[in-house]
């Protein structure tokens, strides 16, 4: 990721990758963009990271950081969304975080 590139942290896709008796592992996905001129954006592709949630406690742990997410805001938003589902008694196969 270059300095003029940025991640769309307002829409984050979340997909279950694996599940055991103890935890579920999720991939979280953001689109990477580059600004061209003053008004145009170029989509560069997607970047991903992974985290897991403990099925008993609801604690989340970052497994593989997402490139460009040094502030961990994409991870925090994705794990918040899944933890909220966990509190409601489910661990979905797919989910999304959408803000704005």
The pLDDT tens digits of the residues spanning 71-85 come to 999 999 999 999 999
Give the C-alpha separation, 9 to 75, whole Å.
9
Instruction: Report strand pairing: 60-64 vs 94-98.
Output: unpaired
| Spatial contact of 16 and 93, defined as CB atoms under 8 Å apart | yes
Q: Domain residue spans in the chain? A: 5-98
Residue of higher predicted confidence among 52 and 10: 52
Question: Per-residue pLDDT for 4 more than 80?
Answer: no
Residue appearing with tokens 């099925």: 55
The pLDDT tens digits of the residues spanning 7-36 come to 788 899 999 999 999 999 999 999 888 878
């Amino acid at each position: 990721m270059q300095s003029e590139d940025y991640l769309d942290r307002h829409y984050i896709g979340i997909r279950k990758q694996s599940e055991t008796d103890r935890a579920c592992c999720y991939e979280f996905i953001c689109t990477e963009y580059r600004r061209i001129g003053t008004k145009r954006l170029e989509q560069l592709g997607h970047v991903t990271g992974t985290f897991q949630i403990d099925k008993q406690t609801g604690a989340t742990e970052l497994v593989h950081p997402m490139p460009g997410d040094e502030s961990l805001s994409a991870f925090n938003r994705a794990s918040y969304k899944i933890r909220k589902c966990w509190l409601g008694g489910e661990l979905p196969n797919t989910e999304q975080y959408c803000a704005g």
